[in-house]
Amino acid sequence: MLKTHFIDTGLINYQKAWDFQKELQKKLLSQKQNENKATEQYLLYCEHPHVYTLGKSGKEENLLIQDDFLKKINAEFYNIDRGGDITYHGPGQIVGYPIFDLESMNIGVRSYIEKMENAVIRTLAEFNIHTERLDEAIGVWLKKNNGQRAEKICAIGVKVSRMITMHGFALNVYTDLNYFNYINPCGFSDKGVTSMEKELGEKIIIKDVKNILLDSIIKEFNLDLRRG
């Protein structure tokens, strides 16, 4: 079990957070190269100002607006190195970036994603929001029983190098869902998005969600967690 450092950066520019992830991943990769194993790993929590990110397998036409409108809504756009298509990050969203060594956990990438989905599903159940996976799409979803389209509440996208992860998940707590109107979220035009606030019809204290989610991640991955 690796010592896992937990850092909550608070609100942080996307580029700065991306650079920090790359720095930490490089550190762990260097450990594996020089010592044949990683000796530590990291879990980052953050929130971002309004930003759209497009994964390496994504299509730019899934961003439905032009540069001038991006400026009008105070949003940025980045082509990035994770899998998946386009997504949105913004205030009121818990973004998590695990820099984990899957080899030390003895799990593969698919199992890693499933464990992350499990942690989110269990967290939402604590708030009486019942969610699930979809066979055709990564992430955590609400499936409507009245024939309406499925709605994503948590997006997941990762990059893995020598079994060291980066990027991660984005859970909509009280996110401004209007920003999703300007994209085909994760490349889907037949599915929607939702948030905890929308589903519960009341204000959510994000700190409470962060704590419960952290607990779920610790249990799911059996982490030896240290703060800082």
The C-alpha atoms of residue 223 and residue 5 are separated, in whole angstroms, by: 10
Catalytic (active site) residue 186: yes
Looking at domain 3-227, does it have CATH number 3.40.50.12780? no
Closest C-alpha among 90, 189, 199, 94 to residue 137? 189
The vertex-76 CA angle with 75 and 82, nearest 5°, equals 130
Residue 201: DSSP 8-state: T
The confidence score (pLDDT) of residue 8 equals 97
The confidence score (pLDDT) of residue 134 equals 86
Kindly give the parts of the chain with pLDDT less than 70.
144-148, 185-190
- Among the listed residues 63, 102, 156, 186, the single catalytic one is 186
The C-alpha atoms of residue 196 and residue 124 are separated, in whole angstroms, by: 8
Collapsing DSSP to helix, strand or coil, 132 comes out as: strand
Collapsing DSSP to helix, strand or coil, 199 comes out as: helix
Whether the CA torsion 77, 183, 176, 9 is positive or negative: it is: negative
The confidence score (pLDDT) of residue 211 equals 97
